[in-house]
Structure 1
């Protein structure tokens, strides 16, 4: 125990907690949006059980990766068609590519659903078409995909399993505390749900880029490069700022139109 409570390990733990918090943002966003597809009476328990099972699965994933990291880096297969597609596909590459495609599909499907509805009050009810078990399974699966990148990043900081597991547990506790609040905020402010879906769309692009980079993938002779985390978070900040400015501007326009309409009635 004393060996764990060294200054270096405590410093690493602080960095790991910060890393899990930053990288867990998109995970929490996905959980909040996906949980609304469960029956209304089950949504709170879906979020709770989804997070708890996902944390346990992440610790198992961490244990496997700590002990089998070299084996997981070995290519499963490679494709060599010069001028068309080239790359070596490892387990990590397949996880990133599958996760990126799935997240982009989910975000685009949800955006399409929002564009297709005629009455805004009915789309929340329509999201209950999945069972609670299906939503929990989806949350756990996507949590593992989201956490794959954070686990790889954490292993670059330290390979002390106890510290890594503790950081995962603490991030899970934070998600349990915040999940209901984030979901309620999105329900009351539907415009931010659209923003969240576009952020998830960018997350899917990031995962595809990460997978392509790890695979040293070349498409039509051009290398696929990973999007830096700085670029990703800058893009998210820009999206949020645009949404805030636009919503404030729309409220100002609505107030001015109401004032003009009131003056016309008075005259």
Structure 2
């Protein structure tokens, strides 16, 4: 038990937990938006299931550290762009493109629907389908999170405890985040725009053009702050209604 007296252990645990929470915010937003497409009675179950899948995925990846780190090995090089391609870059590319495409379709559906009607997704959205989409993005977000954890801590148990604490915090606040986003349609549009930005960042990273996450998170925080001011100004006005097939 002497390792518990090591301050470096606690510093790495605290720092890694904070980073895992920050890295998981976009995951929570995406899960909340996808769960919002389901009937109200199933939304909380979908959010909790999605976050539990994220927890299981991250722990399994952490227990397969050797395999995870092998994803950074160069498989081949693109001859035209002279960009090395790794297993990680392929996953990030696929995840980024999926995130961009899904977010754009969500924005179009919320604003336009099919021929301007709100019933465009009626009967087409299932609980299992939403969970499957959440699982795909969990893999992408978890990969980045796990590689960050491996780079910051040496002990496996520290990484796992940090991930569990972070997912516990996100699980506790997922409902409040989802309700807040769904209550304010403009925030939902902003959240979807953030996801497009994150998708572009993933695609850029996969092609060797790294975009510092600090710039991304600062721009997101600034835009969110401006939108919160707008919400206060529009508090007495009736918000615009987006298409909600299940209400």
1:161 and 2:156 matched: yes
Structure 2 matches for 1:245-260, cutoff 5 A?
Answer: 245-249=229-233
Question: Secondary structure, in 3 states, of the residue corresponding to 1:37?
Answer: coil
Aligned partners of 2:210 and 2:56: how far apart in 1?
Answer: 29
* Cα distance change on mapping 1:117 and 1:166 into 2, 3 Å: same
Structure whose residues are more often helix by fraction: 1
1:128-171 alpha-carbon deviations (Å, 9 max, x no partner): 63211121122122122112222212211112110101111111
Of the three residues 122, 130, 147, the one matched with 2:125 is 130
Structure 2's unaligned 5+ residue stretches are 239-247
1:50-96 alpha-carbon deviations (Å, 9 max, x no partner): 211221111101121x2235532222232213xxx322211111111
Aligned partners of 1:152 and 1:118: how far apart in 2?
Answer: 41
Give the equivalent residue in structure 1 for 2:42. Answer: 42
Which contiguous aligned blocks of 4+ residues in structure 1 show a shift greater than 3 angstroms? 117-123, 125-128, 244-252
Number of aligned residues: 238
Of the three residues 223, 226, 243, the one matched with 2:227 is 243
Structure 2 matches for 1:23-102, cutoff 5 A?
Answer: 23-64=23-64, 66-81=65-80, 85-102=81-98
Aligned partners of 1:121 and 1:184: how far apart in 2?
Answer: 24
Question: Secondary structure, in 3 states, of the residue corresponding to 1:28?
Answer: helix
* Cα distance change on mapping 1:77 and 1:4 into 2, 3 Å: farther
1:101-141 alpha-carbon deviations (Å, 9 max, x no partner): 11111110011112214999946x94763211121122122
Aligned partners of 2:127 and 2:161: how far apart in 1?
Answer: 28
Question: How does the TM-score come out when normalised to structure 1?
Answer: 0.80
Q: Is the 8 A contact 2:55 2:167 kept in 1?
A: yes
Larger RCO (alpha carbons 8 Å, 6+ apart): 2
Aligned partners of 1:10 and 1:201: how far apart in 2?
Answer: 35
Give the equivalent residue in structure 1 for 2:6. Answer: 6
Aligned partners of 1:153 and 1:233: how far apart in 2?
Answer: 16
* Cα distance change on mapping 1:160 and 1:181 into 2, 3 Å: same
Aligned partners of 2:62 and 2:5: how far apart in 1?
Answer: 21
Aligned partners of 2:180 and 2:123: how far apart in 1?
Answer: 19
* Cα distance change on mapping 1:5 and 1:122 into 2, 3 Å: farther
Larger radius of gyration: 1
1:231 and 2:232 matched: no
* Cα distance change on mapping 1:212 and 1:4 into 2, 3 Å: farther
Q: Is the 8 A contact 1:35 1:43 kept in 2?
A: yes
Moved more, 11-20 or 51-60: 51-60
1:17-43 alpha-carbon deviations (Å, 9 max, x no partner): 110111111111111101122333221
Q: Is the 8 A contact 1:23 1:150 kept in 2?
A: yes
Structure 1's unaligned 5+ residue stretches are 214-224, 256-267
